[in-house]
Structure 1
């Protein structure tokens, strides 16, 4: 198995860390360097982070190149470099990584060519020709990456984690604090109008529970704060909030050109009932009214939520079928990482036993 130099966020709550651990479960040796911590340290002040974010971290590149040179020198036995996100690395930095003479993979689950985040991905987009494989989540990104010089682009779906997101074996173990009728777990985003959508549901009489970052910035927060239970969740608390809700809302980011999200995978796998916007990708992933519930606007969402809350048997049937379909779809981190490594010929063995728990 391979020695993988993993450049991404190492915090246990992040999907970056989840993928690194999935690579370990596949039998690889993974050494993580926390890129976000590095960038924060090099920026000297957290108050400068928004400026670096909007300018694609270009003013940090001289320092990032020195950091990259040190990382390469410290890891002479590397077989593969896996870059998560890649927004901190410009061409000169990538040239340092290329000196190691091993395949370099980019995994990015954002939408770097979509423009929602301004100049955040400018350094990344200028560096695409340095990667041996770019992994993206959106079909539209494939040609856009190639137009910017990417050699090879693989499109995969977003993924749940086979260990982190496994449901409680006994639902009675879910703490009462995380139980709800209808839950939304996600960040408030300017221009996405998630607050307006949720407020319509609340005004219809639906009992909402909201978790996530930045909701206090919403102009409607005074009307939402009674339903706001706190900031983003992770680990078993996250699973408890999903499995402890009768209905889990799935909202998309139009700015990120989402047709499915991480929640689209995590909710059914974790034992929740996914109730999300109807898209071509959602209807490919799950059979409507059998494995998940979909809607096209707030009015339809209100209607289906009220139907579900009134029908315990329907909810349980759809939840169980959604969980089964999530397992069958094989969009777990181990499955996806295995697929990616095969693209760079680092998974010669075909008998690797994936570690997910059904």
Structure 2
């Protein structure tokens, strides 16, 4: 059992808090310091948040460092520091954390060296040499992090949560409003053309339900509006929307250089049929046609969905196989956290941490 200082977001609906809870389920004592809440108090206005985002929170570093000092002063008995995302912590804050004298792990499921988010990760990139281990989601991040000074970098899969994404025991328990043919759960993103893709599916005669934030910003929202069911989902509603749909679309972020996403794991675990873009990583995770279905463009997606919609028994086989495969892949939050902690122990044994 380790005493872990967890610097991240502790709001129940966030993936950060899910990982903190996974560490607790593994038997560790986890003390969370919500840096996002502190930053929210500092920005004072939603109008300032975009400025801080684009500048890598550089104008807030003095106050972030003061906050970090307080964390250090009161927690010198910790065994490990786990930093989620790390976009708010610059070199000065990291030097304060190093004073505790324990390994510091960075877990970041974004693409900090990919450039999609402009200067958001400027402070993080400068701070990479201070981490003892960095866990990243993309193979390309490994060498890029090392080129920025990171000492030890491991690549892990994104993950589902063993508790939060547990499927309903009976399909009859799923609220009727979430039962639909095809669902997409995700955010509208500028330049990603998700709206154009979904519109092509609609024009191809497919019945869609769309959930997520910022869709009103789409220039195609007037046409998409009849299919838009509401903002982002979490908890049991999120699982209900996945499990209640015949087919669940998995769209990637090209700007984030995605070859798989959290949805790629959450959908099969929660009892949904994953219908996603064909990539090398999706093909590593699942056998096509058996555990999930894939496509290369909207036309192929339409063809695949049309073929599956009325084939109940075939869909159920894919759902069952996908649920078994994703569990055997060991890509739950507990699985991934345990992999990271084992790597920390391995580095300590080999006297790599210093």
List alignment gaps of at least 5 residues for structure 2: 349-354
Partner Cα distance (1:208, 1:192) in 2: 19
Runs of 4+ in 1 over 4 A off after TM superposition: none
Structure 2 counterpart of 1:113: 113
Q: In the alignment, does 2:77 pair up with 1:103?
A: no
The TM-score, its normalising length taken from structure 1, stands at 0.96
CA positional deviation for 1:76: 2.1
**1:77 — aligned with what?**
77
Alpha-carbon distance in structure 2 between the residues aligned to 1:169 and 1:77: 42
Asked whether 1:221 is paired with 2:221, we answer yes
Q: Which residue of 2 aligns with 1:68?
A: 68
State the partner residue of 2:331.
331
Give the C-alpha shift of residue 153 in structure 1: 0.1
Equivalent residue number for residue 156 of structure 1: 156
CA distance in 1 between partners of 2:220 and 2:46 (Å): 28
1:43-62 deviation line (CA, Å, top 9, x unaligned): 22221000000000000000
Q: Distance in 1 between matches of 2:149 and 2:190?
A: 31
Conservation of the 8 A alpha-carbon contact between 1:341 and 1:347:
no
1:255-304 per-residue CA deviation (whole Å, 9 max, x = no partner) reads 00000000000000000000000000001100000110000000000000
Q: In the alignment, is the contact (CA less than 8 A) between 1:23 and 1:334 conserved in 2?
A: yes
> Match of 1:47?
47
Secondary structure at 2:345 match in 1: coil
CA distance in 1, matches of 2:169, 2:140: 39
* Mapped pair 1:22 → 2:25: no
SS of residue matched to 2:238: helix
Q: Specify the SS of the correspondent of 1:45.
A: coil
The reply to whether residue 135 of structure 1 matches residue 102 of structure 2 is no
In structure 2, what is the Cα distance between the partners aligned to 1:80 and 1:242?
36
Aligned to 2:261: 261
Q: Is the 8 A contact 1:142 1:154 kept in 2?
A: yes
2:185 aligned partner: 185
Counterpart in the other structure of 1:319: 319
Classify the secondary structure of the residue corresponding to 2:4: strand
Tell me, what secondary structure is at the counterpart of 2:106? strand
After TM superposition, give the deviation of residue 347 of structure 1 in Å: 12
| Distance (Å, rounded) in 2 between the aligned partners of 1:60 and 1:298 | 43
Matches for 1:265-304 after TM superposition, within 5 Å: 265-304=265-304
Do the aligned partners of 1:338 and 1:347 also contact (CA within 8 Å) in 2?
no
Following TM superposition, by how much is the alpha carbon of 1:346 offset from its aligned partner in structure 2, in angstroms? 8.6
Determine if the alignment matches structure 1 residue 87 to structure 2 residue 109: no
Tell me the SS of whatever aligns to 1:283: helix
How much does 1:75 deviate?
1.2
Deviation at 1:321, TM superposition (A): 0.4
In the alignment, does 2:234 pair up with 1:204?
A: no
Q: Contact 1:269 / 1:322 at 8 angstroms: preserved in 2?
A: yes
Residue-by-residue CA offset, 1:5-34 (whole Å, 9 max, x unaligned):
000111111110000000000000001111
Aligned counterparts of 1:167 and 1:347: Cα–Cα separation in 2: 37
Number of residues paired by the alignment?
A: 348
Q: Which runs of 5 or more residues in structure 1 are unaligned?
A: 349-358
Structure 2: how far apart are the matches of 1:346 and 1:189? 39
Deviation string, structure 1 residues 143-185 (Cα, Å, up to 9, x no partner): 0000000000010000000000010011110001111100000
Tell me what 2:352 maps to. Answer: none
Measured in 2, the distance between the counterparts of 1:275 and 1:238 equals 17
Task: Tell me the distance in 1 between the aligned counterparts of 2:204 and 2:294.
Answer: 18
